[in-house]
Structure 1
Amino acid sequence: MKLVSASVKRPVGVIMIVLAIVALGVVSVRNLAVDLFPEIELPVAVIATSYTDAAPEDVENLISRPIESAVSTVEGMDTIQSQSQPGSSLVVMMFKNGTDLDQAMLDVREKIDQVKDFLPDQAGDPNILRFSPDSLPVMYVGVTGKDAEALTEIANDQIVPFFERQGGVASVTVEGAVQREIQLELDPGKIKQYGVTSQEILQALNSTNSSTSVGTVDKGNQDLQLRVTGEFNSLDEINDTIITTQAGATIHVEDIAEVKDTFKDQTSKAFVNGENSIVLSMMKQTDANTVEVANNIRASFEELQGELGEEVQLDILIDTSEFIELSVDSVVQNIMIGGAIAIFILLLFLKSIRATLVIGLSIPIALIATFAMMYFSGQTLNVLTLGGLALGVGMMVDSSIVILEHIYSYRKNGHSLKGSAIKGATELAPAVIASTTTTLVVFLPMVFVDGIASDLFTPLGLAVSFSLIASLIVAITLVPMLSSKLLSKAMEEQGGRYWFDRFLNWLQDVYSKGLKKVLKWRKTTVAIVILAIIGSLALVPLIGAEFIPASDQGQAQITVETEPGTAITYTESIVQEVNKVLGDYGEVIETSYVTIGETAKNEATYTLQMVSANEREKSTTEIIQEMDNVLQDIAGAEIAAIALDGGFSMGDPIQIVLNGPEHEVLRELAEEVVAEISAVDGVFNPSSTASGGIPQMAISVDEEKAALYGLSEQQITSQIQVQFTGQTATRYRENGQELEVRLVYPEDKRSSISDLESMQVHTMTGATIPLEEVATFEEVQGPASLLRENQQPQMNVTSAIVDRDLAGIVTDIETKLDSMSFPEGYSYAVGGQAEDMRESFGQLALALIFSIFLVYAVMAVQFENFLYPFIIMFAMPTAVIGVIIGLFVMDISLNIPGFIGIIMLAGIVVNNSIILVDYINILRRRGMERKQALMEAGRSRLRPILMTTLTTVLAMIPLGLAIGEGAEIQQPLAVTIIFGLSFSTLFTLFFVPVVYTLLDDLSAKMTGRNKKKRA
């Protein structure tokens, strides 16, 4: 090859190019963003709409259904789900893979604009969000030291603006805050005395608190804009607002109401480590890097704390960047350990520091060049891309080893330094290129894989591909050039290392004897291999399958749910009992915070951050299981504790979706399903969305009686709402802050059923009648929330899993569900991670089939023959033995990283066979007989095959042992390759020569070649 010759003859040019690449790589790695995982594109959008104090039934009918109907026709829509709960609607839209989300979001906004005018007046504007894992908070910060009112003011005025000015911070959300408002507390007696209705008060406030332009007048050469200003500038002006009664008299607001500058009733609270607090969640900008943003926030703490003083304390509760940095550091450490192991193996085999240096240089140069290619392709440094480099460290030297070994063989035969370098590298360069290409082409089918599997696999595949391309270029340019300069005395026998040469000679003799025997007993050998494959497949049911291995990030969640309709104070009392239990785990819990009433007054959610994994004896899952058992002793609430699977949470492992026409029937079915799956081994804390009903008072207006008083149902409803909920009359601006001015009745007039029944309703004539005169009352149970999927009622049952693989648990659950008798029109489907796993496995299986085909095609082109590639392919099924045994021995379920490892094996395991078969053909072309060529090729290629296999396998051992934080996701991939490559290498050395002879005999029989030539 001209490239090899040019690199040997022009060493200065090669060195300058290498230095330029190194400089470019160093600059690139400093600018690469650092994250935990690659960016994952989820085709999901969310529409959130508020409808204050509305029951779930009204939210569903008046908000969720109209929105569902409007967006259902958007192109690319796959599934629409809605959740209607008291006071809010959440519509989740899932699009098909490949949909242009930017265009889809524009279409959704257009559809919402068409329908929002038909939503109730009390409903808020629909908020359309594009969901992404990157949209999750980067950091949670607790603010403690004062009461909620003071902390809210400090947070809104000082802390939130300060953090939003930091680099990369998009927004800061406040939890547990109170909201200031101006209340006009009406005096029922005065209102009756003056004959004023709430609607008249609203009209007076609105008409007074307004500004408007009324035209222009001339002033010389200028036009003056005329503007009537009437907005409230103080609370006194609100008090002085004039109201005209039906009798024509005028009164002021202060005559019938007390104006209060106060706070809304607190519907949610937050506690940090048991102390009243406000929790801030920091969101990063779309293109910002998590680690960089977190560093900016932490760096600003000292300055902000100095401004706040000692009375207010800031504490970092959750910092997602810490786990990212620990994970990345552990992967980098594994790369260094793997590289050191590879260098040691090279030194052991080559017996020369110079020769080791020639090959060892390929590792850092390939790594640095890879960083440059990653930067220009828009990749980030994360546990997957770095894991790909860690996996590729051993493979980076494979090509260099083969080239160097062949160069040295020429050198031993008396050729010159340059001649050996050129001839040795040129002769084996095609085989090296072919073996590297077979590894690269396995990544091409990922173009046809969609979803999460593609988002995860593509960056890893690019990292491995970049490193292998760089190492291949080094092998056919830098290695020959350095060999021509440094191998004058390289690999000469030295007494200190002679023991290893003797061991290799003994191993070659043992291998030669073994090879003779298998060639003699070919049918027996084939039978043994087939039995080994069948025996390993029998272990598959014992391995199981899962979606993504969980990382022990040390985060956990505890949910507390009291009876629907209970007051927030009761929920808070249960939280205090939970705090006592958490106090017993102070050694392992670093921080904890709880929010009460964030979703409902009867619900509280804890978020726990454990100390680092190396500072505790038990895993997060083990601690949480133990804690959950203790928490079950607390009476008065449903309490569940689950471990969060780190920074890659993709929803509940088990999600059973129940569909049918009636919510009530679905609610009963959900309870039955929970009871059934609770008995399945591995199911942990199953729950359903069919929570107990919320107590409601159903008010039925008698329209006939109401008409006698000149009233409509809507007028009566409006008056009830004003008395028991209050009504926003107008807005008041103060120091740039806009506050609601709300009409409310005194607490003692809106707290009991008797207050409702005796409520005075104003008629059109100005008279008042009790509400019970025109309405009847019935206490009923209403739903806590209503779910729909594709515009049909739905109910979900979810569960965490422990101590078993996901696939095995799902199989048992489906068996249970199939034995249940569902009413006609009702059905179930398994979703969550189980559904994602099935879809991803199906797509990866197709990718594997295409990868195998491409590997064969590349080899067929290389050999210009269909037979020899077919012989080489027999190394693939033997890798299955190692993969299954490896997963079984390491107690790892098959998952997406493991499946990716199998796909990578399809390109890796054939490399040794390519080198072996290619050299057999070279020897036969030189006139050597087949059997002699097989023996000679096997003996001479044993050394480079062992070197390439050991450097690849041993360099992956740190990953295979899951050393360090976040290594769990890479372990299945490493174990798959370690065991698969090890077993396939063993079978390559014995089984491939047997297959070679069998297929060669068959080919000769079919083509009529002389048998003597084959002997």
Structure 2
Amino acid sequence: MKKLISFSINNKLALWILTIFVILFGTYSGYSMKLETLPNINEPVVDVTTVYPGASPNEILEQVTEPIENTVSNLEGVKSVTSTSFENASSIQIQYDLKKNMEDAEGEVKEAVQSLGLPSDAEQPRVARVSYNDLPVLVLALTDENESLQELSHYAETTIKSEFESVEGISDIKVVGTIQKELEVSFNDKDLNAFNLTEQNVIDYIQSISSDAPLGLQVVDDEEQSAVIKGSVTSAEDLKNLEIPVVPSPGESENGKTFVKMSEISTINEVTKEKSVSRMNGKEAIGIQVYKNAAGNTVQVVDGIQEKMKELEKKKDSLAFTSVLNEGDPIKDSVHVMFQKALMGAAFAILIILMFLRNIKTTIIAVVSIPLSLIISLMVLNQLDITLNLMTLGAMTVAIGRVVDDSIVVIENIFRRMTLKGETLKGFELIKEATAEMFSPIVSSTIVTIGVFLPLGLIDGPVGELFLPFGLTIVFALLASLIVSITIVPMMAHLLLRKNIQHNSKRSKERRKSPYKRLLNWSLNHKIISFVIVNVLLVGSLFLLPMIGVSFIPDSENKVIIASYNPVPGSTNDDIKKEIQKSEDVLLERDHLNDVQASFGEGNPLNPSDTKQVLFIINYHPELADITKEQDELASKLKDVNKGEWDIQSSGSGYNTLSLFVYGDNSGEVNEAVEKINGTLESENELTGLKASTSESLKQLGFVLDTEKIASLNIQPLQIFDVLSQGSSSTQITSLNEGGEMIPVNVSQGQEEGSAFSLEDKRVQTLTNENVKLSELVKVEEETAPASITKRNGKVYGVITASITGDDVAAVTSKVQKEVDQLDLADGIEVEVGGVADQIDESFTQLGIAIISAIMIVYFVLVLTFGGGLAPLAILFSLPYAIIGSLVGLVVMNEPISISVMIGALMLIGIVVTNAIVLVDRIVQKEKQGYSTRESILEAGMTRLRPIFMTALATIGALAPLVITGESDGSGLISSGLGITVIGGLISSTVLTLFIVPVAYETLAKMKMKLGRKNRKGHEKGEVA
């Protein structure tokens, strides 16, 4: 080690060149890193969505949902399977254990569902992991005062979409609210019957004649060429004039024709149809959703799209884009705020070091480790493709106080020896020896701190993915600080401190008369009293626990509310539009409102399979004081205005949620229990956004087949199904290419949405080409059926959800559990409390194991460092007393125990132990030099007092901005809770470490000495015998 120190001092130029290279490359790495709010987090959930057009909820359940459920529920690691079967689609969420590799899980589910024999009309199931990349990074509203909505739709789907897709990092651009031109074919049943035709006859013929048919390779002029029969229908006029062959019947046709034109049996019109609906501030507008891929950088994607927006607006003056949801700007703001906190923390740390050293040169040498360590960590993070996000930036803010510790210890020792009376070494030799003297404690303290963060890699699920980059950043910064302290620091000390610093006799006298020395000596002479005092403080602090709440992750206060509106089952599109307008009237009158966008149909990012659900994105001015209060007021007002259900939450919330799952034997009993529980919880002030989801019913048509008559006429039931399915919805039969634009051709049933269904003019063809009225074969009955069927682990269930507004999530959850237990519910009803309570249990358990593992790792490293168990055991005595300051700090600042607090406790282990190592290492050194244990302790206490206080206060100064500025700026995950925990714990542990660790060390040393004497006496008696 001395060789490395000597090399650094003797090769200053080379070291300066290397340092400049590191600064340049590290700065470049920092600018090259992707900016994100958080690391990419994969929830332990796989979604399976299957679209089955025209199917009822019961059909979806029996033919799609249950086969998939039965298959996936047996897969390894599956914790629960939740499903919803509603009209046209099935949605299944598979929840896994936190330990499950979600990439493997997704592959296993895909393989499992591909082998299922689902209905042929059902689309291939879409299997995807739940990830933050599933949500758009930018939502825009597009308007043009000079163009119709149809013209703007075409422009958006062609020009704008193409321009946006050229931006690097884009995975998808969805355009919603568009109007599409199409040809609508309305058949006249009477005319069809007159020519002995059915709709299916005509549709089959059109599809066969209008599409290109490949004939394979044909030899033409001794050369092989591909041959294709071209479709004969290329325009609306072609379709109208298309001649359809008349089907022969047992008797003469009405007019003896063998062909009939389409225009004689149908009406063909060019119409416009809404593919989806999008509105902006009460007016029709085109919505554009921008999605990035997994490798994409949110900020760069958003910036790239905004550049394209400016270019397009320059080309068309009347074109206007409005940003409704922008994930890029909040990231920039959060990163900027965290960067400011880091600078403030660094400034505090520097001032504290300067205050102690009272020497500008030594202060410069000490603090140089801050930028160099962080720059080196940026280089490594960039190479590992870890993004620059709140977690990595927060880790750097936290690391500032720690990365300077090693340099402080080294430069303080150099400075101390330079001012020490009677010091024989000078210049190069003194700096080398002083640095080498501190090598063992700084290496062991660095390894200990790194060891503390190793268990973070063992934490599974979202919390592990969230905090692993945090731990890695600190580890890289600490390793860099170690290298800097034994290379750059001695080199700069030799450069800047060439002249010997005069011995400070005043400081020596102060040390001899130090109050600390007297108190330490008193503590050593009164060990029992000392232990009683500190343990009374420790036990007393534990009584503060009931006063501290329990939360999961603090919500950030983004000024955006995301609201989902589920209309009453059976609502038509026109009904939904009317409900949207009612909602807009309420929303547009709200104070501090920026914009409100409403959309439904295709392109709902929160629920792609539900085309009836309306998504509202409500954007507010930053001046809005309380987004949670606004959320509550909106929920109350909108509930009175609209029929249907609302789910309203701010975009920064979602961590502190409550879910109650109610299971039962049938939907009726479940619904009754859900309503009773919901009524009880409505009076809870600490719950907001209370929503009860039950199985609602809708009217449906039941078709009863006359099986005897059908069999006598030799008609297949599938023929009847084909005719009935034609009557259920508009069907696309082909498409025409007009000037490069594909125009769909749809068959309409000639009835408005929501109008009565009639069988009177429908016909089914027998094998003898005779048309039979459908009304003679089928009886229509009106009945009720569930609008959706929800199941969890195979049981019928209902769910109640709410957001917990209080700080003590655990207390609110426990209170709700007690209230539910007191309700008189029907036999067979089971209620399971989930949501954040489950997350707290799992995550806190894992973090608790991580903390215990960290303590074991610390002890193991200390045993290896000191070569015995006495010194490490004395060092561990510093840990329990950190609890005192942490708990007091949380109570005083009214901060709940959360994930960030637990991470702070994990950090505290490494920081507290570091101070104790510096003290105990000096005691061991002095003992080896022949001093008694008491003399060694007193000398070590006086010698290490200043570096211990310097490192502790530097860490406190670095973390102070987290506590002072709070978390309302978007840095909630690295919140004030972490800062309070570390600062409070560091204050109590530092003060008590200076007394209790020496007391523990001397006590253990005496016990070891007595044990050694007993062993020797026993050994001597054995020899005599």
When normalised by structure 1's length, the TM-score is 0.92
Partner Cα distance (1:402, 1:278) in 2 = 63
**Residue 979 in structure 1 maps to residue 984 in structure 2:** yes
5 Å matches for 1:109-120? Answer: 109-115=110-116, 118-120=117-119
Whichever residue aligns with residue 411 of structure 1, its letter is: M
Whichever residue aligns with residue 315 of structure 1, its letter is: T
5 Å matches for 1:864-1013? Answer: 864-962=867-965, 965-971=969-975, 972-1008=977-1013
Partner Cα distance (2:864, 2:1012) in 1 = 21
**Residue 703 in structure 1 maps to residue 707 in structure 2:** yes
**Residue 424 in structure 1 maps to residue 434 in structure 2:** yes
Identity of aligned residues (%): 27
Of 579, 598, 620, which residue of structure 2 is paired with 1:594?
Answer: 598
Partners of 1:689 and 1:796 within 8 A in 2? yes
How far does residue 909 in structure 1 lie from its aligned partner after superposition?
A: 0.5
Partner Cα distance (1:864, 1:661) in 2 = 65
Partner Cα distance (1:511, 1:812) in 2 = 49
Q: 1:737 to 1:810 in 2, by over 3 A?
A: farther
Whichever residue aligns with residue 59 of structure 1, its letter is: I
State the secondary structure of the residue aligned to 1:37: coil
Whichever residue aligns with residue 804 of structure 2, its letter is: I
What do residues 602-648 of structure 1 show as CA deviations (whole Å, max 9, x unaligned)?
64331122233xx34x13213323433444443645445322226xx
5 Å matches for 1:118-133? Answer: 118-133=117-132
Aligned to 1:756: 758
Could you tell which deviates more after superposition, 520-529 or 859-868?
A: 520-529
**Residue 262 in structure 1 maps to residue 271 in structure 2:** yes
Partners of 2:511 and 2:942 within 8 A in 1? no
Aligned to 1:230: 231
Q: 1:208 to 1:377 in 2, by over 3 A?
A: closer
**Residue 732 in structure 1 maps to residue 741 in structure 2:** no
Aligned to 2:697: 693
Partner Cα distance (1:997, 1:194) in 2 = 111
Partners of 1:656 and 1:830 within 8 A in 2? yes
Whichever residue aligns with residue 435 of structure 1, its letter is: S
Q: 1:493 to 1:298 in 2, by over 3 A?
A: farther
What do residues 324-367 of structure 1 show as CA deviations (whole Å, max 9, x unaligned)?
11011111111111111111111111111111111121111111
Could you tell which deviates more after superposition, 250-259 or 633-642?
A: 633-642
Q: 1:625 to 1:723 in 2, by over 3 A?
A: closer
How far does residue 761 in structure 1 lie from its aligned partner after superposition?
A: 4.2
Partner Cα distance (1:225, 1:624) in 2 = 63
Partner Cα distance (2:892, 2:149) in 1 = 55
Could you tell which deviates more after superposition, 331-340 or 147-156?
A: 147-156
Partners of 1:191 and 1:256 within 8 A in 2? yes
State the secondary structure of the residue aligned to 1:42: strand
Partners of 2:701 and 2:780 within 8 A in 1? no
What do residues 21-68 of structure 1 show as CA deviations (whole Å, max 9, x unaligned)?
223212221221111111223344333222223221111112222333
Aligned to 2:248: 246
Partners of 1:452 and 1:840 within 8 A in 2? no
Partners of 2:79 and 2:97 within 8 A in 1? yes
Aligned to 1:670: 674
Q: 1:217 to 1:313 in 2, by over 3 A?
A: closer
Of 653, 656, 668, which residue of structure 1 is paired with 2:657?
Answer: 653
What do residues 65-118 of structure 1 show as CA deviations (whole Å, max 9, x unaligned)?
233344455555554333211111223334455555555544444444333xx4
Aligned to 1:157: 158
Partners of 2:599 and 2:614 within 8 A in 1? yes
Partner Cα distance (2:380, 2:548) in 1 = 37
Partner Cα distance (1:24, 1:979) in 2 = 37
Q: CA RMSD in A?
A: 3.0
When normalised by structure 2's length, the TM-score is 0.91
Aligned to 1:363: 370
Partner Cα distance (2:992, 2:668) in 1 = 61
Partner Cα distance (1:975, 1:490) in 2 = 41
Partner Cα distance (2:515, 2:590) in 1 = 59
Aligned to 2:725: 721
Whichever residue aligns with residue 67 of structure 2, its letter is: P
Structure 2: 5+ residue stretches without partners: 1017-1025
Q: 1:151 to 1:666 in 2, by over 3 A?
A: farther
State the secondary structure of the residue aligned to 2:385: coil
Aligned to 1:343: 350
5 Å matches for 1:762-911? Answer: 762=764, 764=766, 766-769=770-773, 771=775, 774-780=778-784, 782-820=785-823, 827-911=830-914
How far does residue 189 in structure 1 lie from its aligned partner after superposition?
A: 3.1
**Residue 177 in structure 1 maps to residue 178 in structure 2:** yes
Partner Cα distance (1:171, 1:913) in 2 = 55
Q: 1:1010 to 1:843 in 2, by over 3 A?
A: closer
Partner Cα distance (1:840, 1:490) in 2 = 55
What do residues 497-556 of structure 1 show as CA deviations (whole Å, max 9, x unaligned)?
x9xx89x95998332333344334322222222222222222223222222111112221
Q: 1:76 to 1:740 in 2, by over 3 A?
A: farther
How far does residue 174 in structure 1 lie from its aligned partner after superposition?
A: 1.8
Partner Cα distance (1:381, 1:730) in 2 = 50
Q: 1:508 to 1:784 in 2, by over 3 A?
A: farther
Whichever residue aligns with residue 135 of structure 2, its letter is: L
Partner Cα distance (1:218, 1:978) in 2 = 86
How far does residue 994 in structure 1 lie from its aligned partner after superposition?
A: 2.3
Alignment: residue pair count: 992
State the secondary structure of the residue aligned to 2:747: strand
Partners of 1:568 and 1:596 within 8 A in 2? no
5 Å matches for 1:271-420? Answer: 271-307=279-315, 309-413=316-420, 414=423, 415-420=425-430
Partner Cα distance (2:224, 2:7) in 1 = 83
Structure 1: 5+ residue stretches without partners: none
Aligned to 1:448: 458
How far does residue 1000 in structure 1 lie from its aligned partner after superposition?
A: 2.6
State the secondary structure of the residue aligned to 1:443: helix
Aligned to 2:62: 61
**Residue 483 in structure 1 maps to residue 493 in structure 2:** yes
**Residue 634 in structure 1 maps to residue 641 in structure 2:** yes
5 Å matches for 1:544-583? Answer: 544-583=549-588
Partner Cα distance (1:179, 1:658) in 2 = 43
Could you tell which deviates more after superposition, 683-692 or 736-745?
A: 736-745
Q: 1:809 to 1:33 in 2, by over 3 A?
A: same
Could you tell which deviates more after superposition, 556-565 or 869-878?
A: 556-565
Could you tell which deviates more after superposition, 896-905 or 229-238?
A: 229-238
How far does residue 134 in structure 1 lie from its aligned partner after superposition?
A: 2.2
Partners of 1:240 and 1:253 within 8 A in 2? yes
Could you tell which deviates more after superposition, 801-810 or 511-520?
A: 511-520
How far does residue 197 in structure 1 lie from its aligned partner after superposition?
A: 1.4
Whichever residue aligns with residue 270 of structure 1, its letter is: S
Partner Cα distance (1:486, 1:407) in 2 = 12
Partners of 2:658 and 2:813 within 8 A in 1? yes
Aligned to 1:682: 686
How far does residue 125 in structure 1 lie from its aligned partner after superposition?
A: 3.0
How far does residue 943 in structure 1 lie from its aligned partner after superposition?
A: 1.3
How far does residue 298 in structure 1 lie from its aligned partner after superposition?
A: 0.8
How far does residue 783 in structure 1 lie from its aligned partner after superposition?
A: 1.9
How far does residue 970 in structure 1 lie from its aligned partner after superposition?
A: 0.9
How far does residue 462 in structure 1 lie from its aligned partner after superposition?
A: 0.9
Partner Cα distance (2:468, 2:216) in 1 = 64
How far does residue 876 in structure 1 lie from its aligned partner after superposition?
A: 0.7
Partner Cα distance (1:741, 1:505) in 2 = 96
**Residue 187 in structure 1 maps to residue 188 in structure 2:** yes
How far does residue 317 in structure 1 lie from its aligned partner after superposition?
A: 1.2
Partner Cα distance (2:540, 2:867) in 1 = 36
Partners of 1:5 and 1:422 within 8 A in 2? yes
